[in-house]
Structure 1
Amino acid sequence: MLRTVLIGVTHWHLPLFLEPMQKRDDLSYVGVSDPDLAGAQKVAERLGTIALADYRELVEQTKPDFALVLGIHAEMAATAEFLIERGIPFIIEKPAGLNGAQVSHIAELAAERDAFAAVPFVFRQNGWVTRMREHSAGERFDHLSFTMIGRPPQQYERMASGWVLDRARSGGGALINLGIHFLDLIPYLVPDEPVEVVGAAISNTAWDLSIEDYASVILKVGTSLATIQTGYRYTSPDEYMDMHFSVRTAASYYVARTPTEVQVTTPEGGIETWEVSTMNMKTYPFFVNDAIERVLRGDMPAFDLSDAARAMRLLDRIYEKAGAILPSTPGSVTQE
């Protein structure tokens, strides 16, 4: 039985982790924490455990075997370092820090200590990505295109996460929150190749906040070209996001236009339709269970802080290319 603590429990992604965790019989919840103590107490009541505002006090008091780390981006690296130094395995939500320097530091510390620090880059385990990699094994990737446009950012205020709208505490907008998935996925699909930031542009014109509400990025990865479009501008009341992806290999063209379907075409005109999930949300249960099983076996994560550090260093270069000034210390917020 893993004695488990949950840190930063007012984060809107908590249900994605907690629901599969609660279906397991090998976890016991010894405490939760959040600076918003009232919010933490609501979660604690559901789990029949204690709530504290300070995660450090919680960890020292409960001596857990495992931790889930969510919370404000500006506080994540310090939380990770605290857990690494105490030898506590954990899952930490992406991006795990404000910038590449922060995440690289904790990644290096985790490597030195052989610490278990899993990061949910769940698209790697997504059904369409897994099947596409098998289908295209050994083929050259010619181009990769990913679009993920989320709902307006005011949703985060309604979910008790208004800090997302403050660049000093979040590190950025749609790119660091949504686009980070593809900054990990693209080098994963095209490994061992240098990544060049060919172009990048960001805008905050839709909502006039300190974070970007739209971003467009062009990357060159070896001989492959990749594009990312992400933002907080989708206003549909019916669907969670505007998401569609396309990938061209030497032999096939893959298009994901719906949450459950991928169309595959070949130069000869062949068409195949896969009924497979394309949504990141659907993959969290697999990620959570895989990570916990690895902790129980004494294995390392499938992907970890070193992957997060690589993605965040790339993000820093993209923001620099786009002309954004990122917060290195609290309070250094600028408008795009």
Structure 2
Amino acid sequence: MSLTPPSGGAPFRAGFACFVGRPNAGKSTLTNALVGTKVAITSNRPQTTRHTVRGIVHRPDAQLVLVDTPGLHKPRTLLGERLNDVVRATWAEVDVIGFCLPADQKLGPGDRYIAKELSEVKRTPKVAIVTKTDLVDSQRLAEQLIAIDQLGKELGIEWAEIIPVSAVGDKQVGLLADLLVPLLPESPPLYPDGDLTDEPEQVMVAELIREAALEGVRDELPHSLAVVVEEMLPREDRPADRPLLDIHAYLYIERQSQKAIVIGAKGARLKHVGTTARKHIEALLGTPVFLDLHVKVAKDWQRDPKQLRKLGF
């Protein structure tokens, strides 16, 4: 990609924008929509995202690196505290902050808590992004836009923009990128052309397995579930035109009673998780996969520093 702008053209810009908000505010879905492919796992369960995920948007005039963060929340565990620390460390380092607020939910204490913290981040421009606009009518959307504008005035936040979007309906997603780019610094590209994420493949595979395991389970399980890929190796003695990648992964839960939920009757649920995850992994890696899943109990891992380290937090 050329770093020299055409004669009279605007200079090339590149930088980082993070999406913050309370759990289930639509940050990951919006990240995927802007990048144009799945780089962050999504779920209707809060607190699905557990680490920062970078998605890279390539444009002729800019490279926009989106950092999807875990939902900022009132922590009840050591894991929760560490996730909040990740969010705060991220917004301290980016060039622009996108504050995601769902259109279908009135501003609540969680939104005000985050906005108050953002008001203390003085130099970084902030864009208020009203997500999930496909779920409300025009009157409800107008009320939300006014409420967000008022929230900014109350806390001394001067929004660089307030923009409604629907990632699911692909409404104003491109416009959001157009508004974020001028807030980035002049810079050459930060990643090679064609890269869509800097996530290690092993981490993305673990996330796809966790996403499949989160679907259709009881409310108690999402926070208790962690996935670690132990091994990813090409199967030996396979012909070049018929490769097979062996992936061995463990699903960790906190209590013995949760094991039955994950495995299901006669192993049916775990088999379904494996089938679903394998399709997404094969699409991601572009190669046939043999996926071997096992379920282990790591008692109260969310509260145990040693186990959190072992599970990558």
Q: TM-score, normalised by structure 1?
A: 0.30
Greater relative contact order structure (CA < 8 Å, 6+ sep): 1
Q: TM-score, normalised by structure 2?
A: 0.31
